Amino acid sequence: MVKLSTGQRIKSGVCNTEVMVISAPDADVVLTCGGVPMGNGAGDLNPDHSDGTTIGKRYVNEDGSLELLCVKPGDGSLAVDGELLRLKESKKLPKTD
């Protein structure tokens, strides 16, 4: 378990994924990429967690307490405490005439 802080950068040990923490919960969490805890050396990519990450995209958990920005893409999927993170929906800009 790790206490995440805003601005922190974390690398995956199973692929090239690197993320920056935009917002984090107050509690300690287990952040994984490819099914392996991030920042803890190497491991093997879990095929069930291999949907990949996309540079420049934000990933959030269900309640929105955790938001990560992908700064380097990779093959692993992000999860926190076993819950897969989803892409954050972008806000629609108002139309201008």
Residues 41-50: pLDDT tens digits? Answer: 678 899 999 9
Q: Are 8 and 66 in contact (CB under 8 A)?
A: no
Predicted local confidence at residue 97, as pLDDT? 65
Q: Dump pLDDT digits (tens) for 43-83.
A: 889 999 999 999 999 999 999 999 999 999 999 999 999 99
The label of the residue with tokens 């269900």 reads 62
CB distance 62 to 83 below 8 Å: yes
